[in-house]
Amino acid sequence: MKLLIVESPAKAKTISKYLDGAYTVRASVGHIRDLPKSNKNAIDIEGGFIPRYEISKDKYKVVADLKSLAKKAEEVVLATDPDREGEAIAWHIKEALGLKKPKRIVFHEITPEAVQEAIKHPRQIDDDLRQAQEARRVLDRLFGYDLSGLIWTKLRYGLSAGRVQSPALRILVEREKEIEAFIPEQFWVITAEMKTASGTSIPFTCSLEPKTEAEANTITKKAKQEAWKIKDISETEAKRNPRAPFTTSTLQQTASSRLGYSPSVTMRLAQKLYEKGFITYMRTDSTNLSQQAQAEIKSIVSREFGAEHFSANIYSKKSKNAQEAHEAIRPTHVTTKSAGFSDQEKRLYKLIWERTVASQMAPANILRTKVTAVCADKSVPDFLANGSQVLYSGWLLADPRARGEDVDLPKLKANEKLELISINSEGKTTLPPPRYSEAGLVKELEKRGIGRPSTYAPTIKTIIDRGYVEKEARSLKPTDIGVLVSDFITEHFADYVSDTFTAEMEDELDEIASGKRSYTKTMQDFYGPFTKAIKSKKNIEKISNLGEAPQDIKCPLCDKPMIIKLGKGGKFYSCNNFPACNGARTMEGKVQAGPKDTGRICPKCGKANLVEREGRFGKFISCSSYPKCKHIEQDPNAEKPGDTGVGCPLCKKGTMVEKRGRFGLFYGCSNYPDCKHIVKSKPTGAICGYARETGPCPHLMMAGTKTIPERCSDKTCPNHNLQKLDKNDN
């Protein structure tokens, strides 16, 4: 038996059909190992920045099944994706399964021909590519955890920073500040509808932009009183060249502008099209097309539009690190005009098909016409009319949505007399620079060399999910929290979120991938100065006061002045006498409901009253002088959602109830905070009873999942670890 391992079940299903039973095809379902969530001992820095990987909890069964199959196989082939991420996944599979010399194959399209050809040319795992991915993972962990930890102490718990995420946020915040600082200027637009005095032409529109209203009124008045004629007509032919085939970046941009898909949606759909064998690999920065693809395109252009429209175009790479061995994103078979199972998939495939075919066609020929109309009164400036029309469609035949609309002007002659039909003046103001759309941010990140094709979509998703940015229509607007985090990082760590640093780091990762740079040296060069920068900021004051409120904003409880603070929902006004006074207002000035006084004195400090508060896990009671006094207790009247009815084995008083924290769902004692017993999975009510030297295990059993069997809630109990493969797997 021969075993071939890929990442996704969909990919495995497609490839299985091409191998006629010669291989058993299985999927790892993405990464099987990663750094532990906790940063403690995740990376051996002193030992040379060695990551300590562990098998992901939801992959125990997957790894067990693969290990069982690998032991029986006479040959193991790793066919993960043809990029650094895929190379890393292949290496992790090799390590987790204990494979000695697995074969590694790559292909950029899932077709019978490509898969069969790849199997004929196996190679070893490329350790340079693997180390480049490892370097990115370790760098991101070191950067994110160390800087995020500082932000937690100086701004607010739960905030985060990232090596690529933070520069992306900075770009959005810089644009937002440009918009806020923008001072609009007024201008006027005069439009005049005219026709030839002989009446032989259709009406057309000329325009002019004067600087002042008085000038606009004077021009309008004189224009109505004087005669008009054609001063000049200029016609120029221009070629409009086809666009290059799609790269990851340009696909995300065009899918956003034409189809309204976010980058993450585009990549998810493209992944499905790739796995089903409809398109080539969707993470690429190359614009190359194979000779076979060009031959197919030539055939279909000849059949659909005419052989004279074909042109074998070659496009220069925009990225200095573009991997030219790869291909652009294209249909695996251009002869297939429609593909995909869902409507979204079909629309994206059509977009890819149109761009691919159009890229190998002749330029369009455009006629641009400029007409200058002049008034008999020489003090009136010239009016202009611009038109354009397609003389030869060329590549626009394959991509008609790129054409736009023709602006037709009538056939006119120089010195021909004109008749003014109407003239109007309208006051307008200049507009601030627009906010970035998702497509615009992708373009800007690529232009500045920040990140790589595979990072754009997750970066944007991260800053939205973190609440640093919100979408307004199709624009990205930084939130108050986003601005504050970006300003803090930019002020104290400007070098580490600059375009130069981020782009140079990407170049260094590329050099690791090509074998030109050492992994360890790259880590050392970064981490030494970075940790010094972090330590140098340990003593800066915590930012809790963002400035004074306007003088007319007074505390609704004590009428004292207020200050601006940052809460979970953004900025708000707080009484400057807090915590003695809990008065608060929204930024619009509305009174915010404060904690409800229970009338009871705090049993811990004996001074302040206890108040009802609302937290992440529902209502609770605490001291009103928090944070000076941190006494809290369970609200006896609060509803207990998700009560399992299973008694707490630790305190024997409460019951285990469903709760939700930063890391997702868990189960904790209802007698919290007196009892802090928690378990990750839902308790079944059954007692473990596993026979140990100390006697039967008295802990609860936790419900199992598809990948993890039912087990003991006590991590020290052998019954908790039955799902582990062996002592070396984790």
Active-site position among 23, 60, 145, 281:
281
Which residues have CB under 8 Å from 291's CB, separation 6+?
none
Q: Label residue 495 exposed, middle or buried (CB < 10 Å: 0-12, 13-18, 19+).
A: exposed
Residue with tokens 């291989």: 23
Task: Estimate the crossing angle of helix 127-154 against helix 499-513, to 10 degrees.
Answer: 150
Task: Estimate the crossing angle of helix 127-154 against helix 84-97, to 10 degrees.
Answer: 100
What is the C-alpha to C-alpha distance for residues 165 and 463, in angstroms, rounded to an integer?
Answer: 7
- Nearest partner of 119 among 26, 230, 23, judged by Cα: 23
Interstrand relation of 475-478 and 562-567 (parallel, antiparallel or unpaired): unpaired
What is the C-alpha to C-alpha distance for residues 488 and 511, in angstroms, rounded to an integer?
Answer: 31
Q: Tell me if 360 sits within 8 A of 311, measured CB to CB.
A: yes
- Nearest partner of 575 among 588, 556, 589, 593, judged by Cα: 556
Q: Which residues pair with 190 in a beta bridge?
A: 208, 425
Show the CA angle centred on residue 211, arms to residues 207 and 212, nearest 5°: 110
Annotation says 281 is catalytic: yes
- Nearest partner of 272 among 370, 348, 386, 187, judged by Cα: 348
Please write down the long-range contacts of 150-156, taking CB distance under 8 Å and 24 or more positions apart: 150/534, 150/537, 150/538, 151/485, 151/488, 151/489, 153/542, 154/488, 154/537, 154/540, 154/541, 154/542, 154/543, 155/484, 155/485, 155/488, 155/542, 155/543, 155/566, 156/481, 156/566, 156/568
Q: Tell me if 652 sits within 8 A of 668, measured CB to CB.
A: no
What is the C-alpha to C-alpha distance for residues 371 and 413, in angstroms, rounded to an integer?
Answer: 10
Q: Tell me if 668 sits within 8 A of 677, measured CB to CB.
A: yes
| Phi, psi of 369, rounded to the nearest 5 degrees | -120, 135
Please give the positions annotated as active site.
281
